[in-house]
Structure 1
Amino acid sequence: MTSLFQILMLLLDILYFIVIAHVIMSWLINFQVLNLRQQLVAQIWYGLNRLLDPVYSRVRAIIPQMGGLDLAPLVVLIGVAIARIVLMNNAALFY
């Protein structure tokens, strides 16, 4: 059961870093530091969008529209933090 706990924590860590990378990359694209005409940048961007779109679409269906502001990444990061707290507080169940 210890390995199940560690796998869940690893998956949450990976999701956290993927969301952070997506947010930072979106800022860099919006401020024209990165250009989507570059093949590598475009491949990374579309890959991150494909990974996170199922998660973001579910969150966007729940939260209200905020105009041009997308709060889905923030809600996902808060959800990951809550899941980590719940897992850490119930870690004794895995041992």
Structure 2
Amino acid sequence: MGYAIVWLVSNIINLMIWFIIAQAILSWLVAFDVVNYRNRFVYSVGGFLDQVTRPLLEPFRRIIPSLGGIDVSPIVVILLLQFVNILFMRSAAPILMNALG
């Protein structure tokens, strides 16, 4: 059971990192007019990524100012998620695996 919880938490963190990367790439594609939100698929993917990543990114967007129109909050959030993942794997994961098996 402990291995399953560790696997689940680690994969959720990694999935959130990939969602943030996909959101950043989609925003660049929209900004450079490669794709636009008039396309129904792009609109639905963009809406999904926005709904998933907004709770993580919004607090940092309020704190970190935009640097010349460039939003650096995704980079900060990715670094923090990596830190949390490493911290979890080094400290909490061994305890969970020993306690729950």
Q: TM-score, normalised by structure 1?
A: 0.87
AA at the equivalent of 1:4: I
Which residue is equivalent to 2:25?
A: 24
Q: Percent identity?
A: 27
Q: CA-atom RMSD, angstroms?
A: 1.4
- Unaligned 5+ segments in structure 2 are none
Counterpart CA distance in 1 for 2:96 and 2:85 is 14
Q: How does 1:40-55 map to 2 (within 5 A)?
A: 40-55=41-56
What amino acid maps onto 1:94 in structure 2?
L
- What are the Cα deviations for residues 24-52 of structure 1, in whole angstroms up to 9, with x where unaligned? 11111111111211111111112211221
State the one-letter code of the partner of 2:37.
L
State the aligned residue count: 95
Deviates more, 1:2-11 or 1:63-72: 63-72
Looking at structure 2, the residues matched to 27 and 63 of structure 1 have their Cα atoms a distance apart, in angstroms, of: 19
CA distance in 2, matches of 1:21, 1:63: 21
Please list every run of 5 or more consecutive structure 1 residues that lacks an aligned counterpart in the other structure: none
Divergent runs of 4+, >2 A: 61-67
Aligned mates of 1:70, 1:6 — CA distance in 2: 31
Q: Which has the larger radius of gyration?
A: 2
Please report the TM-score for the alignment, with normalisation by the length of structure 2: 0.83
Deviation of 1:67 after TM superposition, in Å, equals 4.3
